[in-house]
Structure formats: C-alpha cells, structure tokens
C-alpha cells in the first residue's frame, strides 16, 4: 500500500490543451470542465421519480474544443490508450444503436441536440479526465456534460442547466445505451461548492443544501473498491424493469408515489422479489428527505450516519446491488470508527462513502484496505472529497 489516502492527480486546462495541440494543432475556441459526482444517499431512486442527494466532486473531465465548418466530430481522449482514443464521426449518421464505444457519450450529445431542433455543427474535442473509470463516480456524466456545456456555449444554444443535463442524459440513454436517470448529469451541471443538492427527479428541482463537514470536524471519505462496474449490462436494466413492474402492479405512476407509511402492508400486493426492489427505492427516497432535513436544520451531521448504514443494508439485502468487496469495505469502515458508510453509485462494484472524523480518515482508509486484502479483494484506494462547482467554461 502506497499510503492510506491517494487523491486522483489534479488536472486543469493545460492538460486538455496539451492533448489538443498534439491531436489537432492550432488553438481551441475554449476549454470547459465538468465534474464527477458522489451520491450521499438515494440510490436507484432517480428513475423512479424520487429524491437524491449528490455532491459534485473536485475531479472530472476537462475538454479543449474548437468549432468546425462541417458536421464531423473529431474527438481524442488521453484516457483511452492507442488508436481507440481517437474517433472521427459523421454526426449525420449517429442514431440509437450506433456502435461508437466510449465516443457515444460525446457524439450522443450532438444527436440529442439535433432531436430538439438545435443547430449542430461539428467540433474538434480533446479530453482528459481524472475520474477513476468504473468507480461509480460518474466519469460518463462528466464526459457527456462537459461536451454538452461546450457545444451549447459555442453554438449559442442558450439552454438552462437542467436542459444541458438532459442532453447528457439522452446521450447516455439513447446512444451509449446506459439506462440511467438524470441525477448524475444534474449533479455534474448544477454542483455548488460547499453544498449538496437535494434533487426532486420528477420536477427536476434542485435545492442547494449546505454541506460543510469540515465545520463539524468531519470528512467524507470516498473509498474506491476497484471492483469495476458497468451500467450497460443486464443487472442495472433488470432493476429498472422490476421497479416499473412494481409501480404498475401498485397502480402508481412511479414508486415515488407510494407512501412510506404502512409500507409493509402495501408491499404484500407484490411478489417477494418486486416487494424487496420497491421497498429499497421507497425507503431510500424517504431517507434522502430525512438527511436533507437534518442538514438544513444545522444538526450535527454525525446524526445522518445511521441513515447511511440503513441505506447500505437496503441496497445489499433488498436491491441486491452490492458485491463482496464493497460489503467488506463498508463493514470495515464502521468497525474502524466511521459514523456511517454506504455503497454509492449504480452498484455491482464502485465506491463506498464513509462519514468520518477528520483525523480518522487515514486510519479508517488503512483499515478498509487491510480488510479488503485479507478477504482476497483488490486493495481499495481512498480520498476525502468536498463539494465542488459544476460544469463551466474555464478559459478563452
């Protein structure tokens, strides 16, 4: 182990400019940034019309971008090795089912804009990211949202933040084939330093809530299990389909509409598997409201720890989206003194977050690494995270 805390290497506009100069020569029209995100609580609630509580991270994707006179998209990513890192795409040929690989998250934004009747010209894009791929910290949303923000600025689309986020979501859903909700993109676009975002995913209302853990002597520890996941697979899609079927059987538009009161009685109307899936979504959305209320009131954030633990138990037992490496890390964090810990993200790998005392972050990270390796899992990587600002233009 190289050390208990290993934050990702910092990047800035110079990293994207270096890639741009090597790939295309000349100068870009501008440089943009969009962050990844970590979700404090509320998992798989976003595509059920429920509540989520993410923060934007100080890690993300930086893009140097130049307008073209044609409908071609040239894109180069420094994070994709070899020839696969460069793509040239005719934007007029992009459609659902296109086999574009990672570039679908970029080209899909142009497709989504054209579907809205917006003018879409080609771009030259150079990218670098410091969001660990497969970690559940929304590297894909950072990619699609930095593209959407740059394209909108360069073409003068005059779109509000939720619409910028919607372009990124449509790119992921329709072109990349990842059936995500809108939380990741909204968090990437609407993030504010020092704040968490309570997002009503039905109305797309974003409420900024102070989340300054340092004021209370606390840190948010993000522990990457390095058990990579992919949202473009049958497991994620199955959970979404189960939720839709449960809502249909309960005669509601979305699981958001099921009251948490007398929930056990309500769920007797469902087969056992659908009842468990629905119970997770309904209770986790309610937990978001409880955590948001505590944070708004100025209560000691340590109080939310129990709700974080309850959320993890629900994801493990009812929604069945954790994996042994993640469960090991979560349990080790609690045993080492974390006030609460839970898996975050779509599941089947990814990260655990832990609410910890500032001076305990390193020791807890060490304990989690030791527990994971003892159990035969990959050694996790940990860093502390603070809320950051969302997608924006950096220069030029």
Ranges of each domain in the chain:
13-208+388-395, 212-385
User: And the tokens for 24?
Assistant: 């295309």
Given a cut of 50, whether residue 202 has pLDDT beyond it is yes
Supply the angle between the helices 324-335 and 305-317 in degrees, to the nearest 10. Answer: 160
**Tell me: domain 13-208+388-395, CATH 3.30.230.10, correct?**
yes
Region 221-239: mean pLDDT is 80
Higher pLDDT, 203 or 230: 203
User: And the tokens for 367?
Assistant: 């304990």
Supply the angle between the helices 139-155 and 104-115 in degrees, to the nearest 10. Answer: 50
Neighbours of 118 (CB within 10 A): 18
| % the chain with pLDDT above 90 | 91
pLDDT of residue 72: 98
Q: Is 124 a catalytic residue?
A: no
Can you count the helices (H) and strands (E) in the chain? 11, 12
Region 332-352: mean pLDDT is 95
Decide: pTM greater than 0.85.
Answer: yes
Q: Return the percent helix, strand and coil in the chain, to nearest 5.
A: 45, 20, 35
Query: Residue 25, Cα to own-chain centre: how many angstroms?
Result: 33
Asked if 153 and 121 touch (Cβ cutoff 8 Å), the reply is no
What is each CA distance from 187 to 75, 129, 207, in whole angstroms?
A: 24, 17, 11
pLDDT of residue 134: 78
Given a cut of 50, whether residue 191 has pLDDT beyond it is yes
Given a cut of 80, whether residue 230 has pLDDT beyond it is no
| % the chain with pLDDT above 70 | 97
How would residue 136 be classed by pLDDT, with cut points 50, 70 and 90? confident
How would residue 237 be classed by pLDDT, with cut points 50, 70 and 90? confident
Higher pLDDT, 335 or 133: 335
DSSP for 108-149 reads HHHHHHHHTT-----EEEEEEE-SPTTSSS-HHHHHHHHHHH
Token pair 């779509």 is found at 346
Asked if 246 and 271 touch (Cβ cutoff 8 Å), the reply is no
Asked if 40 and 192 touch (Cβ cutoff 8 Å), the reply is no
pLDDT of residue 3: 64
pLDDT of residue 217: 98
**Dihedral sign from CA coordinates of 265, 270, 271, 273:** negative
- State residue 197 phi and psi, 5-degree precision: -115, 115
| pLDDT tens digits for range 246-300 | 999 999 999 999 999 999 999 999 999 999 999 999 999 999 999 999 999 999 9
Opening angle at CA 235, ends 140 and 382, nearest 5: 50
- Distance CA(340)–CA(330), nearest Å, equals 9
| pLDDT tens digits for range 37-78 | 999 999 999 999 999 999 999 999 999 999 999 999 999 999
Topology (CATH level 3) of domain 212-385: Alpha-Beta Plaits (3.30.70)
What is each CA distance from 293 to 43, 76, 286, 299, in whole angstroms?
A: 18, 44, 11, 9
pLDDT of residue 1: 41
Using alpha carbons, select from 336, 385, 70, 363 the residue that is nearest to residue 221.
385
What is each CA distance from 204 to 47, 117, 158, 160, 162, in whole angstroms?
A: 12, 22, 18, 12, 7
DSSP for 2-49 reads --S--PPPP--HHHHHHHHHHHH-S--SEEEEEEEEEEEE--S-GGGT
Query: Residue 376: is it exposed, middle or buried by C-beta count within 10 angstroms (0-12/13-18/19+)?
Result: exposed
Asked if 209 and 295 touch (Cβ cutoff 8 Å), the reply is yes
Opening angle at CA 253, ends 252 and 254, nearest 5: 95
Region 32-37: mean pLDDT is 98
How would residue 396 be classed by pLDDT, with cut points 50, 70 and 90? low
Asked if 288 and 53 touch (Cβ cutoff 8 Å), the reply is yes
* Active-site entry in 15, 46, 124, 184: 184
């Amino acid at each position: 182990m190289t050390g208990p805390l290993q934050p990702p290497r910092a990047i800035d506009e110079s990293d994207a400019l270096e890639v741009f100069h090597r790939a295309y020569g000349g100068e870009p029209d501008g440089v943009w940034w969009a962050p990844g995100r970590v979700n404090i609580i509320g998992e798989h609630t976003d595509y059920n019309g429920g509540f989520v509580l993410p923060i934007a991270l100080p890690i993300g994707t930086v893009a140097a971008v130049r307008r073209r006179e044609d409908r071609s998209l040239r894109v180069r990513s420094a994070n994709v090795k070899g020839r696969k890192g460069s793509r040239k795409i005719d934007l007029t040929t992009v459609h659902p089912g296109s086999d574009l690989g990672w570039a679908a998250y970029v080209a899909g934004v142009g497709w989504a804009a054209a579907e809205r009747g917006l003018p879409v010209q080609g771009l030259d894009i150079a990218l670098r990211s410091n969001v660990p791929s497969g970690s559940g910290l929304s590297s894909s949303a950072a990619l699609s949202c930095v593209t959407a923000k740059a394209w909108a600025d360069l073409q003068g689309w005059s779109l509000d933040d939720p619409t910028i986020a919607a372009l990124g979501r449509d790119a992921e859903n329709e072109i990349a084939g990842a059936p995500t909700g809108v939380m990741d993109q909204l968090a990437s676009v609407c993030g504010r330093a020092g704040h968490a975002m309570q997002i009503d995913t039905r109305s797309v209302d974003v409420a900024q809530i102070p989340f300054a853990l340092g004021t209370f002597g606390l840190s948010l520890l993000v522990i990457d299990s390095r058990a990579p996941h992919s949202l473009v697979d049958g497991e994620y899609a199955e959970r979404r389909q189960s939720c839709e079927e449960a809502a249909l059987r309960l005669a509601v538009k979305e699981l958001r509409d099921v009251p948490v009161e007398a929930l056990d009685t309500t769920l007797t109307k469902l087969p056992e598997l659908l009842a468990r899936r629905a119970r997770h979504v309904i209770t986790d959305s309610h937990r978001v409201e409880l955590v948001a209320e505590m944070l708004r009131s100025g209560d000691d954030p340590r109080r939310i720890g129990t709700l974080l633990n309850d959320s993890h138990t629900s994801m493990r037992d009812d929604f069945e989206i954790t994996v042994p490496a993640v469960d090991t890390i979560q349990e080790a964090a609690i045993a080492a003194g974390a006030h609460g810990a839970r898996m975050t993200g779509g599941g089947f790998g990814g990260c655990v977050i832990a609410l910890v005392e500032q001076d305990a972050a390193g020791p807890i990270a060490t304990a989690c690494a030791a527990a994971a390796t003892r159990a035969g899992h990959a050694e996790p990587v940990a860093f502390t995270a603070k809320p950051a600002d969302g997608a924006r233009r950096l220069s030029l």
